[in-house]
Copies of this chain bind each other. A is one copy, B any other.
């Protein structure tokens, strides 16, 4: 008998921003697997289920365990915060399944339930920074060589992309965002807006709106649950908001009202 494996994104952590599908998948599952902090986010939904809590850095073990449990016939939800399809567990699960010769159509059913990722949740809290093209980068060089990340920062800077930076820093990983700032300052003005969003939609939420020049003053706001959004040449701040206009350098005419066929 074969079960099913859901890879579920529960969003930023508050149930408000979870999707109906994510809740239903968790409710339908008899087995819940996940990093301890993520499992705790859905504690109220998992009473009476088999729950496997893992510590950080056990991703490979966790992935194998999920697949094995589902193959034994369990309906398994591998839960994570955010969206498992963005720097999440979806990749590792598919890599392991592909290596084992898994046939997606006839073998174990696997379904990814997308969630509100940090780029969605953080942008919503600070204005409208993602109205234009943007690049999403992780500063973690644990699995990606740092020279590759540097090349990408250079490219994103040259392309005038807004930057969304996941994993900007940890206690031991400090220089990466500092180096990124130096690269960006070759291409962007010192007053380019920067937002640091920590713990979006959680009780601990804190938001700083600053700029490239002053970013080093806020290193205490960086960490494993922080996201950094750096504006491009069109981004401006208004009170505590980072606004990107529709279109390039606000060429749009706000008074323009073509074809005003209001339908009520």
Q: Which residues of A contact B (CB under 8 A)?
A: 11, 15-21, 23-24, 36, 50-55, 57-61, 65, 83, 85-88, 90-96, 98-99, 103-105, 112-117, 119-121, 123-125, 127-138, 142-145, 148-149, 151-152, 154-156, 158-161, 238-241, 243-248, 250-264
Q: Which residues of B contact A95 (CB under 8 A)?
A: 128, 243, 245-246, 250, 252, 254
Q: A120-B120, A123-B114, A156-B159 are in contact. Are A263 and B52 (CB under 8 A)?
A: yes
Question: Does A135 lie within 8 Å of B132, measured CB to CB?
Answer: no
What residues of B have a CB within 8 angstroms of the CB of A143 in the complex?
Answer: 246-248, 251-252
- What are 30 A-to-B residue pairs whose CB atoms are below 8 Å? A15-B20, A16-B20, A17-B21, A18-B19, A20-B23, A50-B264, A54-B262, A55-B261, A58-B257, A58-B260, A60-B252, A60-B254, A61-B262, A65-B262, A83-B124, A87-B131, A91-B128, A92-B254, A95-B128, A99-B254, A104-B240, A104-B241, A114-B120, A114-B121, A120-B120, A133-B135, A135-B136, A135-B156, A155-B155, A156-B161
Q: Which of B20, B61, B156, B240 interacts with A257 by CB under 8 Å? A: B61
Considering only CB atoms, which chain B residue lies closest to A264 in the complex?
B52
Copies of this chain present in the complex amount to 2
CA of A1 to CA of B252, assembled, Å: 31
Contact of A113 among B53, B87, B124 (CB under 8 A): B124
Hey, which chain B residues are within 8 Å of A36, CB to CB? 263
- Given A99-B254, A251-B143, A252-B143: A134 in contact with B135 (beta carbons within 8 A): yes
Dominant SS at the A interface? mixed
Instruction: Let me know if B11 and A19 touch, CB within 8 A.
Output: yes
| Across-interface contacts of A151 in B (CB, < 8 A) | 158-160
* Cα separation A259 to B54 with both chains bound (whole Å): 10
Take A241-B94, A248-B143 as given contacts and tell me if A120 and B11 are in contact as well, using a CB distance cutoff of 8 Å. Answer: no
B264, A51: Cβ atoms closer than 8 Å: yes
Closest to A157 in B: B155
Q: Is the CB of B24 within 8 A of A16?
A: yes
A144: chain B residues within 8 A (beta carbon): 132, 247-248
Assess the A262–B161 pair: CB atoms within 8 A. no
